[in-house]
Amino acid sequence: MTPDQIALAQLEIAKLQAWITALAIFLGPLAGVIFTFWFQSRKDKSAEKHRLFVTLMGERKGLAFSQEMVKALNTIDVVFSDNATVVALWHKYYSLLSQPPGEDRNHTWLELLTAMAKDLRYSNLKQTDLDKFYVPQGHVDQLEFQREVQSEWLRVLKGTERFLVEPRNEP
């Protein structure tokens, strides 16, 4: 190679290096931003799955379905949309909710919680752990008392044709 050809080759290499450097300067931050958005989206989705699972676990054997529990159940299709097993078990459980409580419903509930725990990588959580729950006796007693009071009021109201209201004559 002649000195002119070597100089020309070095110039071409310098131009190529300049283009590669410019491309790296432009694409580096862009790739960083794209990765950050992807990672944040994935983190948010995981956090939402955890929040839903913790809500269901916290109220899994409650005395009645709270609004929070109903809201959590109604979001399973969206939050776990990427897990066909969880969605299928939720649909099965949903159809069982319109029937009287029974063994199949309880079993499906445990399968649903187990599938969610597996998705969230709670590998040490067993079905026996999922089936355990605590309800203070005071809560059971209060609920029973409220039911008795409501039943009695309903009995009185249904058996009463009308109420007479008379003004008080107080000094």
Reported as a single tens digit per residue, the pLDDT across 18-31 is 888 888 788 788 77
The answer to whether the pTM exceeds 0.75 is: no
Reported as a single tens digit per residue, the pLDDT across 50-101 is 999 999 888 877 657 788 989 999 999 999 999 999 999 999 999 998 888 8
* Residue 59 falls inside a structural domain: yes
* Residue 62 falls inside a structural domain: yes
Q: Which residues contact 125 (CB under 8 A, 6 or more apart)?
A: 114, 117
pLDDT of residue 120: 93
* Residue 167 falls inside a structural domain: no
Average pLDDT of the chain is 84
Range of the domain at 109: 3-155
Question: What tokens does 11 get?
Answer: 């110039």
The candidate with the shortest Cα–Cα distance to 80, out of 118, 106, 108, 110, is 118
* Residue 60 falls inside a structural domain: yes
* Residue 82 falls inside a structural domain: yes
Euclidean distance between the first and the last CA atom of the chain, given in angstroms as a whole number? 124
Kindly state the average pLDDT of the residues 92-119. 90
| Three-state secondary structure readout of 35-96 | HHHHHHHHHHHHHHHHHHHHHHHHCCCCCCCCHHHHHHHHCHHHHCCCCHHHHHHHHHHHHH
* Residue 164 falls inside a structural domain: no
* Residue 171 falls inside a structural domain: no
How many structural domains compose the chain?
1
* Residue 56 falls inside a structural domain: yes
